[in-house]
Amino acid sequence: MPHIIADKIDLPSKTCSLVADGGFEILFFANGFDGAIGVKTPRAKFILRKFPHEKGVILKCDKSTRPPFLNDIKKAMLVVAEICGAKIYEKNYENDPILHDREYENFVSASEFINLFDCAKKLWIEIGFGSGRHILKNAAENPEKLHLGIEIHRPSAEQLLNRAKYENLNNIVVVLADARTFIKSLKTSLAERIFVHFPAPWDKNADRKVFNMEFVKESLKVLAKNGKIELRTDSENYFENSLNIAEGFENITIEKKINKETIISSKYEDRWKKLNRNIFDLIITKNYDEDSVNSKMDFSIKNSDILREKISAKFTVKDENYLLITKKVWKLNNNAILAQIIMGALNSPIAIYLLIGDQAEYFPSPPLPTKENFAAHLALIG
């Protein structure tokens, strides 16, 4: 990830413009050893953090607010350094990020997808698409659907978007996220198909298994009636374990196939076929309707005064389902406060920022609407 090492990064006390060329803007600046700088670019808002370094100070993008546009981060760091009159000792990227900008219009952040995508098109989701052969083929043959790819591996995601651009496919959207968490935040009854092809093996590390009980439960919610979860694997162990999980659910139909003919074969599939290994398919069809639930989660904050008092006092709340902890609080100009809090599920909490002035909001966007995040939010504002 890009970073800059400089002598110091402090906002000069004399008045200066916090707006730079190209629509880059500093929204807030928390000075101090371990500071936080809110930045706005034409297509994203995020936080840069500065930490002490042996040569002075190191500036990086905060991971939890990181947008998919790396060049915005690079340019923002240069803008901040210039406004602060910093002397840059080192940076791990070339001088003119815009020159090398690659615009991934269909690369959206998880929260953008949740907030912006009200799909008129029916959604097909592919989890861990790897080289992307299958999703590309689906997108080309089914232009009337929106194809959402979820990946944790950034190079695979970039490769897919490059390929989609080359093939003039504008019905592919990519979210860079752990599918197990992201799927929890999608609205109910949104998707027709969810593909999980050759998920990473799990025998050595059960925590990495994508296809677990919770994943199936959440995927069923996201599917419309008659929608399908389609697992394909070369591992009999993975298949048997997943079948076992699926059999615990009601009102679904389960189909099992071995060495099913397929129109498109992924890189992994080719490899296993050459070794004459069996390929297992598990297809789960949802046989019921349900009402939209998580669209009712409202993360707005009505009373900023109560929240300000609460945050200033610092707190830790641990319930059996969620946690909520104040990690750090900065005082900003104009009596405003920036706070970093930890909230959400006990086993996978998130770090998120709150900006509290006359009004209060999560910065740059509210947490993903999972039931644990919402429970923590209610505790925060209650």
Ligand X SMILES: C[S@@+](CC[C@H](N)C(=O)[O-])C[C@H]1O[C@@H](n2cnc3c(N)ncnc32)[C@H](O)[C@@H]1O
**Which residues in this chain contact ligand X in the complex, by CB under 6 A?**
127-131, 150-153, 156, 178-180, 197-200, 210, 266-268
Q: Which is nearer to ligand X, 7 or 230 (CB)?
A: 230
Give the tokens for residue 186: 């999608």
- Smallest distance from ligand X to CB 226, Å: 24
Strand locations in the chain (E): 3-6, 19-20, 24-30, 35-41, 44-53, 56-61, 88-91, 107-108, 122-127, 145-151, 172-176, 191-197, 223-233, 252-258, 280-286, 316-318, 322-331, 337-345, 350-356, 360-363
Q: Which is nearer to ligand X, 38 or 349 (CB)?
A: 349
Q: Which is nearer to ligand X, 129 or 330 (CB)?
A: 129
| Separation between Cα atoms, residue 79 and residue 24, nearest integer Å | 8
Cα distances (Å, whole numbers) of residue 105 to 134, 170, 238: 21, 9, 35
**19-20 and 3-6: which strand pairing?**
unpaired
- Smallest distance from ligand X to CB 230, Å: 11
- Smallest distance from ligand X to CB 153, Å: 4
Q: What is the DSSP letter of 120?
A: S
Neighbouring residues of 362: CB distance < 8 A, sequence distance ≥ 6: 299, 301, 352, 353, 354, 355
- Smallest distance from ligand X to CB 200, Å: 4
Q: Which is nearer to ligand X, 127 or 191 (CB)?
A: 127
Q: Which is nearer to ligand X, 86 or 210 (CB)?
A: 210
Task: Return left, alpha or beta for 198; rule: phi > 0 is left, psi -120 to 50 is alpha, else beta.
Answer: left
- Smallest distance from ligand X to CB 168, Å: 23
Geometric angle at alpha carbon 137, from 217 and 256, rounded to 5°: 45
Closest among 227, 203, 335 to 289, alpha carbons compared: 227
- Smallest distance from ligand X to CB 193, Å: 14
The number of beta carbons lying within 10 Å of the beta carbon of residue 371 is 16
- Smallest distance from ligand X to CB 149, Å: 9
Closest among 197, 199, 196, 195 to 209, alpha carbons compared: 199
| Separation between Cα atoms, residue 83 and residue 90, nearest integer Å | 17
Q: Which is nearer to ligand X, 131 or 312 (CB)?
A: 131
Geometric angle at alpha carbon 140, from 134 and 142, rounded to 5°: 95
- Smallest distance from ligand X to CB 126, Å: 7
Q: Which is nearer to ligand X, 3 or 180 (CB)?
A: 180
Q: Which is nearer to ligand X, 48 or 123 (CB)?
A: 123
Give the tokens for residue 372: 């644990």
